[in-house]
């Protein structure tokens, strides 16, 4: 198996696991288990930030920036650019929301940020979909030969 395909596939699996953690966090919120909701979302945010720092940024800089610089209007360049923009925005929002909560039991710190939590969820989900499309664009020929 190609090294880059392996790393990308493991990263995709990690992001799908983060998605499941976020879904569980949402279900905790619906069940009024707000501390469990916050812990699940914090776990998801930390895993997402680690994946960005350790895998995605180096891959983007090494593998995609040269492609974007050479052909900025190709599908792969546009997918990579939008994926990076949405993912970075979601990460910054996650850090801000989780950082303002800091494991407090009181809802007074997080309840006012509900609107931003929804925005973050949609921005992050958009990044996840764009990342999946980028994965397929990059590795389609290796996956389905």
Tens of pLDDT, residues 87-98: 999 999 988 888
Domain containing residue 104:
3-143
Q: Is residue 104 scored above 70 in pLDDT?
A: no
pLDDT value of position 109:
63
Confidence check: pLDDT of 47 > 80 = yes
Q: Of the candidates 35, 43, 39, which has an alpha carbon nearest to the alpha carbon of residue 17?
A: 43
Residue 105 in this model has a pLDDT that exceeds 70 = no
* Angle between the N-to-C axes of helices 75-101 and 114-143, in degrees from 0 to 180, rounded to the nearest 10: 140
Q: How many domains does the chain have?
A: 1
């Amino acid at each position: 198996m190609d090294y880059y395909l392996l790393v990308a596939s493991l990263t995709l699996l990690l992001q799908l696991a983060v998605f499941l953690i976020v879904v569980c966090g949402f279900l905790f919120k619906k069940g009024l288990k707000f501390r469990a909701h916050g812990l699940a979302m914090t776990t998801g945010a930390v895993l997402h930030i680690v994946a960005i720092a350790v895998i995605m940024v180096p891959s983007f800089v090494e593998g995609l920036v040269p492609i974007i610089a050479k052909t900025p209007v190709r599908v792969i360049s546009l997918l990579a650019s939008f994926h990076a923009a949405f993912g970075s925005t979601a990460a910054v929002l996650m850090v801000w929301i989780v950082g303002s909560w800091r494991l407090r039991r009181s809802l007074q710190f997080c309840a006012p940020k509900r609107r931003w939590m929804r925005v973050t969820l949609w921005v992050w989900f958009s990044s996840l979909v764009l990342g999946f499309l980028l994965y397929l664009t990059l590795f389609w020929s290796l996956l389905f030969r």
